Structure formats: structure tokens, C-alpha cells
Structure 1
């Protein structure tokens, strides 16, 4: 018996970053949105932990961390320990989310693993307990469970669903060269200095989501990590310029990068923008609807 769970990529419509805390983390005020790029995680019984990785075209795979360095194995062991059981599993991941791109693909895999093993092992873990376990694995993992559109606080792990009446379309532009999240945060600290205010989610963004208006949303997007990330990777500025030239309503870095997202009016507009970028020899371009569901079991 195997269980397959699908989990979506995330994009930060807003990413407000506060001053670094004593524990080394930054408080965040963010609005997450789950977009239609997916990883599928299939869990099956095994005497030992094992992870296999495959991917869609144009998604580069690096080496798979082993043991507790692998977030999927960490998720499985955490769930087993929570229930006081000694079990293992074989986890097969098929990636449709770009790796190391600021789209929380690893977090999506961890969330999918929690759900898949909970169902495989018939544990019936309450939702609030799964969310608590997810928060121990990483800041973006709880949102990967919930999906849709949500506000995040703390390190991003405290999530609450938001009213979102939009039918959004994004063009996603990947980049083969990764960008270190710790390096981006260090650059943020150096750039911002000591005068960093506590972050807040802007009211105009909540209004744009409630009204479902692409023009209002375009004007409300913001990411405090974008400036330091572009300072580390000035080549990404060309992607921004090409997206604007192609007619995107707004262009924004995803998380700490290097993936760039471009807001479009609707599906035909997204295909038009994507085609213009492909004509400029971009080979990692996807269109994605939003918002989409969080981690959920696939049935055929």
C-alpha cells in the first residue's frame, strides 16, 4: 500500500522582516499564497528510511541529503516519535517545484510527508498537532499544510487563513543558480542597520485580496528581502526588466529568491507574458494559478 500527497509551492505576496532576535531568527509579517506548481510525495512501508527523487523537465536536482539532514526523513521521524512508534518508510518525491528557488519546495515535501505517513500508518493525528509538528520542521511547513492564502507571523510558522476572492495567475521564472537564504538575511541586516521596525501586513493588500482585483494586488506586493537579494544577484534585474517589458502587472522576487514571479490579469495574459519570456530564451518559465489547496491526498 502507498499513499500519494500533493503539496503546492508558496509565494510571499508580502514579506515584512523585523530586527533579528536573540535566537537568530527574524520576526516576519507575511502573506502566503499557494500557487499551482506541485510536488507529489508517495509514502510506502519499509524497514528503513529511504528517499527517491525525480523531477519534471527543467527542474535541476542536487544531491539528496541523507539521514536527519533530509527534511522529509526528519518529518517522518518526528511524526513517529510523536506517536511513540518505531516505524520507517520509503518516500518517493516527484518535483514540479523548482529546487532552492524561494518557493518552499522542501517545506511542501515535509508537509506532504506528514500527511502521507499519517494516512499510511492510520494515526489520525489531529490537525492542530500536525500543525505543531510542522512548525518544528520549518517556518513554511505549516502553511504548506493549509495552502490557499494565509497570513504568517512569528518566524512565519503561525498561520491564519485569509479571505481571498481573487482568481490569480502568475508567471514563474526559475533560475539555475541558487541564492543562499542566510546570505540574503545577512545582507538585509547590513542594509537595514539598527533602524528596523516591527513588520506588519499592509491593509491595502488585504483589501486587494478581498476585492479580487489584480491591479490593486499589483500595487500592494512587497518583499523586504528583494533589495538585499538583488544586491547579491544583480543579474536578476534583467529578469525584472524583461517581465515588465512583457506586460506583467507586477514583478517580485519569491522569498529570498532567486525565482521571480510576475502577476498577470488572467490565464490568457499569463500565457502571453510567458511566451514573450520564452522568446527571449528563458527556459524555466511556468504559468501557475492561485490560490490552490494545501497538502492533500491524491486519489485515482
Structure 2
């Protein structure tokens, strides 16, 4: 595995390498494969770049090697790679539960312009979870154990995270019809802001500048803003670049 970004590992530590190795072993493939990653997504930004690359590798090699595996076959393999990888096997709008291995497709959201704003530092998911307990949110999570814990695929649906929440899938579907803004929430944001208040400042600037909503993405530090149209996005982009933040104006697919 080769990559044009200096911060992306190019050996066995790379998720793409791990994905290819797992599928190769599962399928009994003897030959190897050379993979080149041309990185477009910011690294260490909380945008799931590595996880989406791993999912793309499973799907791509499934076609290249003519394995013809269905999603149900690829799903348990993807779950071994990380909590977010199963979601990217589905793509589009979906609900993730459990450790990420339970994925339920949801109705597509309306196409939106999105502005991504990244301050000049990176955050690791492991660091954010380890600091959860330090600000009184919950006990620290052992990421290593969480990643290696076996999925209980046979458990009842009611035992999932959704079953113990106030939201049902039907309620989520109804809310999505009115706009995803009503469901925007990220508990990890509280941890990151406690140590890096600039994230809160970015959110404030985006909201004051006309964003429909703004939230930290994943484990951060990137903040995304949902926008009414491209015009608002261009205006906000100019505003944020004055602070020397990296920005990307994109549209949902």
C-alpha cells in the first residue's frame, strides 16, 4: 500500500492493507495486490477517511477478484477493521448501532451544501475516548477491547442501543423528511471543546454567518456546517479562511 500523504502509514498498520489482508485470507486468494491511495480527505480530521478507504477496498477487491460476496458476507469482515467501516459498506444515510456492526439504511436526506472547517491540529479517536471520563461524561473506554470484542449478531433487535433510546427507526425516518438538522448531535464534541475551545469558536462563526447548523465531525477537530445554498457556503468559506483555517465546500451525494 502506497500513499501520497506523509502522515498515512504505508505498511501493515494502514487500514487499507488490513482490509485487503483480511479479505485475501477469508477468500483464500494466493496472489497479492498493489494499492495506491491518493488522499483527498484530510488526515486525523474526524471525517472517517481511513474507514471509508477500508470499505472501498473490500468492495473494490470483491469485484476485482470476482468473489461476488454479498454485503452480509463483507459486513463481519468490515467490523473487524473498525466501528465506522460497516457504515461505509452501505453508504448514503444509515443508522449505526452496537459497536457499529448493526447498520440500518434510512431514507436519503435532501442534497445539501456542506462547508468543512479544520483547525491546524489533529485529534485521534483514541485520545478523545480516553478523555471522556476526565470531563465527567462517562467512564473511559478501552478502545482496544472495543475493537476486538466479538459482535453478538444473534441478539434481539431490542437489545441494541436504539432499543433503549427515545428514538425509534420510524421516528427517525419521519424527522429526516423535515431535515437532518433536527438530529444533529455529537457527544464527543464536549470532550474536544473542553481541551480545544477553538472548535466552539468555529461553530459560533459559522452559525452567525448563516449556517443552518454546525457540529464537530466524529472525534474532531473538523467542524461541518449545513448550508441553505452554495452562495452561503462561499461567503462563509471566505470568512473562515481569514482565520487561516483549512476549508472545503462540498455537496452531499
User: Normalising by structure 1, what TM-score?
Assistant: 0.69
8 Å CA contact 2:3, 2:10 repeated in 1: no
The whole-number CA distance in structure 2 between the counterparts of 1:282 and 1:202 is 39
Which structure has more helix as a fraction of its residues?
A: 2
Structure 2, unaligned stretches of length 5 or more? 140-160
Which structure has more strand as a fraction of its residues?
A: 1
Q: Provide Cα deviations, 1:201-228, integer angstroms capped at 9, x if missing partner.
A: 74675433123x3xxx334311111111
Q: Provide Cα deviations, 1:235-285, integer angstroms capped at 9, x if missing partner.
A: 22221222123221211000110111111112332222223222x243411
Tell me which of 244, 247, 251 is aligned to 1:285.
Answer: 247
Higher relative contact order (CA 8 A, sep 6+): 1
Name the residue aligned to 1:235.
198
After TM superposition, the runs of 4+ consecutive aligned structure 1 residues lying more than 6 A away are none
Q: Provide Cα deviations, 1:38-87, integer angstroms capped at 9, x if missing partner.
A: xxxxxxxxxxxxx12126xxxxx4152522x2211111111111111222
8 Å CA contact 1:101, 1:175 repeated in 2: no
The whole-number CA distance in structure 2 between the counterparts of 1:151 and 1:54 is 32
SS at match of 1:90: coil
Matched, 1:188 2:150: no
1:189 Cα shift? 2.7
1:154 Cα shift? 0.6
The whole-number CA distance in structure 1 between the counterparts of 2:244 and 2:11 is 33
User: Normalising by structure 2, what TM-score?
Assistant: 0.81
Tell me which of 86, 94, 107 is aligned to 1:142.
Answer: 86
1:136 Cα shift? 1.4
Matched, 1:244 2:207: yes
Paired residues, number: 227
The whole-number CA distance in structure 2 between the counterparts of 1:97 and 1:201 is 34
Mapping for residues 68-83 of structure 1, pairs under 5 Å: 69-83=13-27
8 Å CA contact 2:193, 2:199 repeated in 1: yes
Q: 1:132 to 1:88 in 2, by over 3 A?
A: same
Q: Provide Cα deviations, 1:124-149, integer angstroms capped at 9, x if missing partner.
A: 12221112211111111111121110
Name the residue aligned to 1:92.
36
RMSD of Structure 2 on Structure 1 (CA): 2.1
